[in-house]
Amino acid sequence: MEEVSEQGYVLIHTRTESRGQNQRVFLLHRPSRTDQHFLVFFFKRLKVNQSGRYEQDFPFLSLCGRERNYLRCEDRPVVFTHLLSEAGLEERLSYCGGGAKLSAPFRPESLFMHPVSGRVYHPGPELGGGVGLVRSALAIELSTHFEYATGQESTGQPTHFIWAGLRHSLTNELPKHFPVQTDESVKLQ
């Protein structure tokens, strides 16, 4: 039987923390060219872990040759970090330090602000769970373009997103990717 190397990653957005001998901390801040090559390789192969191994502890898996890279994260494995705009080209959201090589078309009507956490999400690669978290700094920039129902100001759910002179009705297609939270589950967090 061919030997398989297994690595576990803990994706952390706010602090560095290692949780075990066979696990590595994996941060996505300003990757070097070598790091970017690895990140593109890693995230292009990322999928939901249905391997039968470590599924509870590591819900995502990236197969790299004989190596199995298991991943768990604080929220979502795909984190949109930058909005890429070039004249004549469609706007794209770049994720996980991959620049244009890891990007998705920006769909302003599909932005979703979670009603409990206030975090902003955007559709992402299907293999990575279908939805990505918008990095806080970018979410703050984008949030100035949200429009709310009269009388709700910024306390309710946004209904529209104003972008490039267009008023987009928000589709709210992403809630299906989140478990329904009861009052009890919110108290436990």
Highest mean predicted confidence (pLDDT) among 9-13, 129-133, 148-152, 153-157: 129-133
Is beta strand 112-113 parallel, antiparallel or unpaired with respect to 166-169? unpaired
Q: Which residues on adjacent β-strands are paired with residue 82?
A: 94
Regarding whether 55 and 143 lie in a shared domain, the answer is: no
Question: What was the pLDDT predicted at 27?
Answer: 47
Q: Which domain holds residue 35?
A: 5-73
Name the pLDDT band for 21 (thresholds 50, 70, 90).
very low
Regarding whether 136 and 96 lie in a shared domain, the answer is: yes
Mean pLDDT computed over 15-41? 55
Lowest mean pLDDT among 13-22, 81-90, 103-112, 156-165: 13-22
Mean pLDDT computed over 88-97? 90
Domain boundary among 47, 73, 99: 73
Mean pLDDT computed over 95-117? 93
Domain count, the chain: 2
- Would you state the structure tokens that stand for residue 157, as one six-digit string? 């759910």
Which strand (E) or helix (H) includes residue 184?
A: helix 183-188
Residue 185 in any domain: the answer is no
Work out the mean pLDDT of the chain and round it to a whole number.
Answer: 81
Question: Which region holds residue 152: left if phi is over 0, alpha if psi is between -120 and 50, else beta?
Answer: alpha
Higher pLDDT, 31 or 98: 98
pLDDT digits (tens, 9 = 90+) for 51-79: 998 899 889 988 888 888 888 888 999 99
**What DSSP assignment string belongs to 71-82?**
EEESS-S-EEEE
Regarding whether 90 and 59 lie in a shared domain, the answer is: no
Regarding whether 112 and 92 lie in a shared domain, the answer is: yes
Find how far residue 170's CA is from the centre of its chain.
19
Residue 189 in any domain: the answer is no
Higher pLDDT, 9 or 104: 104
Domain boundary among 14, 40, 73: 73
Domain boundary among 73, 105, 122: 73
Question: What was the pLDDT predicted at 1?
Answer: 56
Residues 107 and 168 sit within 8 Å (Cβ to Cβ): no
Regarding whether 95 and 64 lie in a shared domain, the answer is: no
Regarding whether 103 and 58 lie in a shared domain, the answer is: no
Q: Is the pLDDT of residue 182 over 70?
A: no
Cβ neighbors of 47 (< 8 A, separation 6 or more) are: 60, 61, 62, 127, 128
Question: What was the pLDDT predicted at 48?
Answer: 92
Question: What was the pLDDT predicted at 187?
Answer: 45
